[in-house]
Amino acid sequence: MDNQYLHIGGINVKELVHKYGTPLFVYDVNQIRNNARAFTETFKSLDVNYQVAYASKAFSSIAMLQVAKQEGLSLDVVSQGELYTAIQAGFPAEKIHMHGNNKSIDELEMAIEQNIGCIVVDNFYEIELLEYLVEKYNQPVNVLLRITPGIEAHTHDYILTGQEDSKFGFDISSQQASKALKSLINHKKIHVQGVHCHIGSQIFETQGFVMAIRKIYDMLSQWNEEFNYQAEVVNLGGGFGIKYTEEDQPLPLNEYVVSLVNTVKEQAEKHDLKVPEIWIEPGRSIVGEAGTTIYTIGSIKELPNVRKYISVDGGMTDNIRPALYQAKYDAQVANKLNEPIRETVSIAGKCCESGDMLIWDLEVPEVESGDLLAVHSTGAYGYSMANHYNRFPKAAVVFVEDGVDRLVVKRESYQDLTINDLSYE
Ligand SMILES: Cc1ncc(COP(=O)(O)O)c(C=O)c1O
Ligand SMILES: N[C@@H](CCCC[NH3+])C(=O)O
């Protein structure tokens, strides 16, 4: 009856569960590679200089960053921890870009000591810190200026980033961005390579990007006139949407790239500026759909005429997105793929929290305790946002590729949970 079982990357989930237990994150590495290549191959075909920087916040682990490195990607990190992981993975420093709206002096020092490719400067305080550090280390740095173009992308409020009222970046309309450039343009050791903007996440159309590029180019044209400055790099961030449920209709990844590149070329020509290197920072669209979480179903509670709660052995500790963003997911009973659909149920996590629900309405066959549930498209912002609420150890992560499975992040033990606790007796 093996055809009743879900297979990922050629492997039966029954075998994976037997070997590694649940909850378990399973990544289909071929899918990660194909997504990365959809971006890089399209750029190559458009005859433009580019970098595709994997936004490691979506899922960072040594093995993941090694796959990104093998695919020739660059890397976006937003903290010392993400940078440390990149170094442990042997990621080439010159291809690492560092973000953050409140980078600490330690984070900036590590970035300078490691001689990373560029720092995406977010605010005036960071400029002061950098001015101090380049003298202290007597070392030049490349920076991009993070610009908030004043674009409202159509997505959840908490994952919007490009609007004026944002904690990120230098605002265009109040001239903060121009002031930032002016303060650095003649600096001997801080080289402004260009500009960066990221309008938000899980975006399904190209219009927001096109509007952002136009706004950036109005600004770049003004900078050319006023400061005789031309950007060598324009980084347009990430945010390309993926399919979580049937409601989501993302564009093929190449379409985003074509639209971005064409708009940049058109705007550069319109303003008589040279075409810059175009960088992007996809996270979710590289790993999201490649990841599946496998749970074991435990308790089942039926409230007649109200709802049936099916509880699994994980929840908001391994996937906080439904609780945080009302994010919707699709799932299958992974050991009953061919059984007829019988009912609509709600999938609950096991945390002591009523909001710990993974899916409100899921159509399933007859479910019993001990069945396996596979929640799809959990590869981005699942493990990376995992937490220890109720002291649940973090799940294990397995990579599968061409019929071979490899454990890439061990399941946490109870000893791991108390490792930093000190006695008070
Ligand atoms: C600056 C920046 N770059 C890249 C990303 C990656 O976004 P996504 O995972 O939606 O591609 C984010 C997250 O939204 C971000 O804030
Ligand atoms: N973590 C968010 C997106 C924020 C991305 C980083 N700016 C999510 O799960 O959708």
When pLDDT is averaged across residues 87-101 and rounded to a whole number, the result is: 98
Is 172 in the same domain as 273? yes
Q: Is the pLDDT of residue 149 over 80?
A: yes
Which ligand 1 atom is the nearest neighbour of the CA of 283? Answer: 9
Pairing of strands 357-364, 343-348: antiparallel
pLDDT tens figures, 4-15: 999 999 999 999
Q: Is the pLDDT of residue 136 over 60?
A: yes
Q: Is the pLDDT of residue 355 over 70?
A: yes
Question: Which pLDDT does position 1 carry in this prediction?
Answer: 56
Is 239 in the same domain as 299? no
Is 353 in the same domain as 262? no
- 93, part of any domain: yes
| Torsion sign across C-alpha atoms 91, 97, 102, 105 | positive
Distance of CA 327 to the CA centre of its chain: 15
Rounded distance from Cα 134 to ligand 2 centre (Å): 32
Confidence of residue 158 (pLDDT cuts 50, 70, 90): very low
Q: Given 286, 320, 355, which residue is the final one in a domain?
A: 286
Q: Is the pLDDT of residue 104 over 90?
A: yes
Residue to mutate, 201, 203, 244, 289, ligand 1, most ligand atoms under 8 Å from C-beta: 201
Residue to mutate, 201, 284, 319, ligand 2, most ligand atoms under 8 Å from C-beta: 201
Question: Which pLDDT does position 394 carry in this prediction?
Answer: 98
- 40, part of any domain: no
Is 327 in the same domain as 381? yes
What is the CB neighbour count within 10 angstroms for residue 218? Answer: 15
Query: Which protein residue has the closest C-alpha to ligand 2 atom 9?
Result: 381
- 333, part of any domain: yes
Is 308 in the same domain as 393? yes
Rounded distance from Cα 5 to ligand 2 centre (Å): 31
Is 19 in the same domain as 51? no
Question: What is the percentage of the chain residues whose pLDDT exceeds 70?
Answer: 97
pLDDT tens figures, 196-242: 999 999 999 999 999 999 999 999 999 999 999 999 999 999 999 99
Which ligand 1 atom is the nearest neighbour of the CA of 281? Answer: 4
Instruction: Give Cβ neighbours of residue 31 (< 8 Å, ≥ 6 apart).
Output: 289, 290
Beta strand segments in 13-61, E: 24-28, 50-55
Rounded distance from Cα 354 to ligand 2 centre (Å): 23
Question: Which pLDDT does position 3 carry in this prediction?
Answer: 86
- 425, part of any domain: no
What is the CB neighbour count within 10 angstroms for residue 331? Answer: 23
Per-residue tokens: 251: 């564009």
**In the annotation, is 351 catalytic?**
no
Q: Given 252, 286, 320, which residue is the final one in a domain?
A: 286
- Number of C-alpha atoms within 13 angstroms, CB side, residue 23? 27
Distance of CA 23 to the CA centre of its chain: 21
- Which of 159, 162, 131, 157 lies closest to 146 in space, CA to CA? 162
Which ligand 2 atom is the nearest neighbour of the CA of 55? Answer: 6
Is 275 in the same domain as 126? yes
Q: Given 286, 311, 336, which residue is the final one in a domain?
A: 286
Question: Which pLDDT does position 151 carry in this prediction?
Answer: 80
Task: State if residue 285 touches ligand 1 by the CB under 6 angstroms criterion.
Answer: yes
DSSP 411: P
- 408, part of any domain: yes
Rounded distance from Cα 381 to ligand 2 centre (Å): 6
Asked if residue 170 lies in contact with residue 211, where contact means CB atoms within 8 angstroms, the answer is no
- Provide the domain limits for residue 327: 2-26+290-418
* DSSP annotation string for 92-128: -GGGEEE--SS--HHHHHHHHHTT-SEEEE-SHHHHH
pLDDT tens figures, 363-391: 999 999 999 999 999 999 999 999 999 99
- 32, part of any domain: no
Is 371 in the same domain as 385? yes
Is 281 in the same domain as 394? no
* DSSP helix/strand/coil, 412: coil
Is 128 in the same domain as 15? no
